[in-house]
Amino acid sequence: MALLTPQDLENLSTQLEENDEIIKRVTGLDIRGICEDLYGTKPDSQKVGIIPITSGNGIISTFTSSLLFIVEYFGFEGFVTEHPDVTGYYEAVSQGADIIMMADDHIFTAHNLRNEKIVSNHVATGVIYADIASRFTEANSKDILVIGLGRVGYAGASHLMKKGFNVYACDPNREFLQKAVGELGIKPYCSDDRKKFSMVFEATPNADTISEGMIEERCLVSTPGIPCGLPPEIGKKYRVDLVMEPLVIGVASMLYSVLQNGNS
C-alpha cells in the first residue's frame, strides 16, 4: 500500500484549484457538482471529527491538517482531535462529531454516526476518478479504458459498468482481470489490441502504464496517481487533459458518499 508523504501533500490548495479548473473545462462540472450529481447529497456543516492514528508507520505529519483543509473547503465543520487512536475516537464522539475520519496504513475511512454509512478511500476514490473520466464532453463513444483492477480500479470499473459504459480493462495480475471479467462483465484489454480510447481511468501504483497505442488524439486521463501513469511526452504529443491530485478529490467523494440523500 503506497503511503502518502508530506511532499505529496505540499500546496494542496493549488493542486485543488488547478484540478477543479480542468475538471470544469472537460466535464462541465466542478468537483462539488460532480459529487452532488454522483451521490445526490449536499454538505450542511456536519461536524467531522478527524482522528490521528499512530499504528503501523504512524502519523504522517500533514495528513490530518490536510483533511481539515479539505473538509472545511467543502462546507463541513471539521476538527482534529487533540489525542490520537482510541482516546481521540472518544474525544471526537464526545465533541459531537457527526462523521469520523481516520486512517491506518491499510484503510482510510469516513463513518457517518447518524446514518451508519461508512466508506473506504479506495472505493470512494475509484468511483469519483472513474466518473470524472466518463464525463469527458469531447468523447464520441461510450468506450472507456480502466488500467488497474485492484481495490481502486475495481470500484471504478464497477461504477462505470453500472452507468452503462463499454468498459475495457487491463491488469498484469491475471486473477484480478479474471475476477473483474467474471463479476463485472468488463472486456479484457491488452495494449497490442489496436483499440484507442478518449477516456482513460488509471488506478495503478506504477508510472508509465499508458502507452501511445491506447489513446485517441483528444483524451482525458483521470487518475489518483502517485506516481502518474501518463508519460509527460505522450501527454504533450496527444494534447491529453490530465486530472490527477493526491487526496482532495478522493476525500470529497468519501464525504459526499456518507451523507443522507433524498431517496435513501
**Is the CB of residue 87 less than 8 Å from the CB of residue 75?**
no
Which set of grid coordinates corresponds to residue 9?
A: 501533500
How far apart are alpha carbons 66 and 15 in whole angstroms?
12
Q: How many other C-beta atoms lie within 10 A of the C-beta of residue 228?
A: 19
CB of 54 to ligand 2YC, least distance (A): 7
Regarding 250 and contact with Mg ion (CB under 5 A), the answer is yes
Complex with ligand 2YC: residue 59 or 207, whichever CB lies closer: 59
Regarding 149 and contact with ligand 2YC (CB under 6 A), the answer is no
Complex with ligand 2YC: residue 59 or 86, whichever CB lies closer: 59
Q: How many other C-beta atoms lie within 10 A of the C-beta of residue 252?
A: 24
Q: Restricting to residues 88-127, which ones interact with ligand 2YC according to CB under 6 A?
A: 103-105, 108, 121
CB of 86 to Mg ion, least distance (A): 28
Comparing C-alpha atoms, which of 114, 211, 113, 222 is closest to residue 165? 222
Phi, psi of 196 (to 5 degrees): -115, 155
Binds Mg ion by CB under 5 A, chosen from 23, 147, 242, 249: 249
Which set of grid coordinates corresponds to residue 162?
A: 453500472
Per partner kind, with CB cut-offs from 5 to 8 A, the member of Mg ion, ligand 2YC, none near residue 126 is: none
Helix crossing, 121-134 with 248-257: angle to 10°?
100
How far apart are alpha carbons 201 and 206 in whole angstroms?
14
Regarding 59 and contact with ligand 2YC (CB under 6 A), the answer is yes
**Is the CB of residue 147 less than 8 Å from the CB of residue 167?**
no
Q: Which stretch binds ligand 2YC (CB under 6 A): 39-47, 51-59, 89-97, 186-194?
A: 51-59
Regarding 224 and contact with Mg ion (CB under 5 A), the answer is yes
Complex with Mg ion: residue 84 or 250, whichever CB lies closer: 250
Interface residues with ligand 2YC (CB under 6 A) are 3-4, 52-53, 59-60, 63-64, 103-105, 108, 121, 247
Residues that bind Mg ion (CB under 5 A): 224, 247, 249-250
